Structure 1
Amino acid sequence: MTDDTGDAAGDDPPTSDAAGDDPPSSDAAGDDPSVRDDEATADLSLDRFHEALEAEERPVATASEVARRLGTTQAAARDALATLVDRGDVDRIDVETDPVVFYPSDWGRLATRERIVAFPDRREIVVDRSTQFTRARLSQFAYLVDTTGTEPGTRGYLYRIRQEDVWAAPFEDADALIASLRSVLPRRYEHLEEWIRDQWRRAHRFRLYSHEDGYVVLEAANENLLGNVADQHLDDDHLRAPISETEAWVNESAVAAVKRALYDAGYPVEDDRDLETGDPVDIELTTDLRDYQETWVETFLDRRSGVYVGPPGSGKTVAAIATIAAVGGETLILVPSRELADQWRAELAAHSTIDPADVGVYHGGTKEVRPVTIATYQIAGMDRHRSLFDSRKWGLICFDECHHVTAPVYSRTAELQSKHRLGLSATPVRESGSEEEIYTLIGQPIGADWDALFDAGFVQEPEVEIRYVPWRDELARNEYASADGRERRRLAAENPAKIDEIRSLIATHRDAKALVFVEYLDQGEVIADALDVPFVSGETPHRERRQLFRRFRAGSDAGTDSDDDRVTAGTDRDDDPDAAGTDDGLDALVVSRVGDEGIDLPNAGLAVVASGLGGSRRQGSQRAGRTMRPSGSALVYVLATRGSSEEEFAQRQMRHLARKGVRVRETNVAE
Structure 2
Amino acid sequence: MFIRERTLSYGKVKLVLKHNKYFVESSHPETLQVLLKDKVIREARVHSQITDNSIKAATFTTSKAPVKGSLVIAGTKEPEKKKDELPHGKGASGDADLFTSVVGVDADEVDEDDDNVHAFEIDDGKIDDVKKRCNELEYPMLEEYDFRNDTINANLDIDLKPSTVIRPYQETSLSKMFGNGRARSGIIVLPCGAGKTLVGITAACTIKKSCLVLCTSSVSVMQWRQQFIQWSNITDRQIAVFTADQKEKFAGESGIVVSTYSMVANTHNRSHEAKKMMDFLTSREWGFILLDEVHVVPAAMFRRVVTTIKAHSKLGLTGEYSLFLSGPPAQIFIPNFLATLVREDDKIADLNYMIGPKLYEANWMDLAAKGHIANVQVKQINVIEYGKVLNIIVG
Query: Does the TM-score normalized on the shorter chain lie above 0.5?
Result: yes
Maintained 8 Å contact 1:207/1:220: no
Q: Tell me the equivalent position of 2:295.
A: 403
For the 8 Å contact 2:35–2:41, the answer to whether it is kept is no
2-structure distance, mates of 1:665, 1:210: 46
**Structure whose residues are more often helix by fraction:** 1
Question: Partner of 2:77 in structure 1?
Answer: none
Aligned-pair distance for 1:304?
A: 2.2
Deviations 1:263-300 (A, max 9, x none): 23321123356675732222221321111111222221
Residue 361 (structure 1) aligns with: 241
**Alignment-derived partner of residue 198 in structure 1:** 5
Contact 2:143–2:184 (CA under 8 A) maintained in structure 1: no
Rg (Cα) greater in structure: 1
Give the SS at the match of 1:318: helix
Alpha-carbon distance change, 438 to 208 in structure 1, aligned in 2, over 3 angstroms? closer
1:156-195 aligned at under 5 Å gives the runs 194-195=1-2
Amino acid at match of 1:424: L
Count of residues in Structure 1 that have an aligned counterpart in Structure 2: 287
State which drifts further: 203-212 or 421-430: 203-212
User: What are the superposed Cα offsets for residues 163-202 of structure 1, whole Å, 9 maximum, x if unpaired?
Assistant: xxxxxxxxxxxxxxxxxxxxxxxxxxxxxxx122222222
Q: After the TM superposition, which residues 29-178 of structure 1 pair with which residues of structure 2 at under 5 Å, given as runs?
A: none
**Matched residue type, 2:40:** L
- Identify if the C-alpha distance between structure 1 residues 325 and 249 changes in structure 2 by more than 3 Å, giving closer, same or farther: closer
TM-score where L is the length of structure 1: 0.39
SS of 1:361's partner is strand
What's the counterpart of residue 198 of structure 2? Answer: 318
Aligned AA for 1:325? Answer: C
Structure 1 position 280 matched with structure 2 position 172: no
Question: What corresponds to 1:421 in structure 2?
Answer: 314
3-state DSSP of counterpart to 2:7: helix
Higher relative contact order (CA 8 A, sep 6+): 2
What SS does the corresponding residue of 2:382 show, helix, strand or coil?
strand
Report the CA distance shift for 1:439/1:450 in structure 2 as closer, same or farther (over 3 A). farther
Q: Structure 1 residue 228: deviation in Å?
A: 5.4
Shift of 1:359: 1.1
- The residue aligned with 1:529 is none
Counterpart-to-counterpart distance in 2, 1:352 and 1:226: 42
Deviation at 1:328, TM superposition (A): 0.9
Per the alignment, do residues 430 and 217 of structure 1 end up closer, same or farther by CA in structure 2, a change over 3 Å counting?
Answer: closer
Q: CA deviation at 1:374?
A: 0.3
Shift of 1:231: 4.1
| 1:315, distance to aligned residue in structure 2 (A) | 0.6
State the distance in 1 between where 2:5 and 2:21 align: 33
| Contact 2:341–2:348 (Cα < 8 Å) also in 1 | yes
**CA 1:318/1:239 → structure 2, altered by over 3 Å: closer, same or farther?**
same
Task: Sort the Cα spacing of 1:226 and 1:394 in 2 relative to 1 into closer, same or farther, 3 A.
Answer: closer
Displacement after TM superposition at 1:419 (Å): 2.1
Query: Which shifted more, 390-399 or 259-268?
Result: 259-268
State the match for 2:137 in structure 1: 265
User: 2:121 aligns to what?
Assistant: 249
After superposition, the Cα gap between the structure-2 partners of 1:220 and 1:398, relative to the gap in structure 1 and judged at 3 Å, is same
Q: Is the 8 A contact 1:211 1:217 kept in 2?
A: no
1:349 to 218, 224, 229: 229
Does the Cα contact within 8 Å between 1:361 and 1:375 map onto a contact in 2? yes
Letter in structure 1 aligned against 2:155: P
Question: How many percent of aligned residue pairs carry the same amino acid?
Answer: 25
Q: Which residue of 2 aligns with 1:337?
A: 217
CA contact (8 A) 2:285 2:312 kept: no
- Residue 642 of structure 1: how far off its partner (Å): 5.9
Counterpart residue number, 2:40: 234
Instruction: Find the partner of 1:460 among 353, 365, 374.
Output: 374
- Alpha-carbon contact 2:294-2:317 (below 8 Å) kept: yes
Structure 1 residue ranges without an equivalent (≥5): 1-193, 471-640, 652-663, 667-671
Verify the 8 A CA contact 1:305 1:442 in the aligned structure 2.
yes
Which residue of structure 2 aligns with residue 374 of structure 1?
258
- Alpha-carbon shift at residue 366 of structure 1 (Å): 0.6
1:448 is matched with which residue? 362
Q: Which residue of 2 aligns with 1:296?
A: 173
The unaligned stretches of length 5 or more in structure 2 are 49-57, 61-117, 320-339
CA, structure 1 residues 290+376, in 2 after alignment: closer, same or farther (shift >3 Å)? same
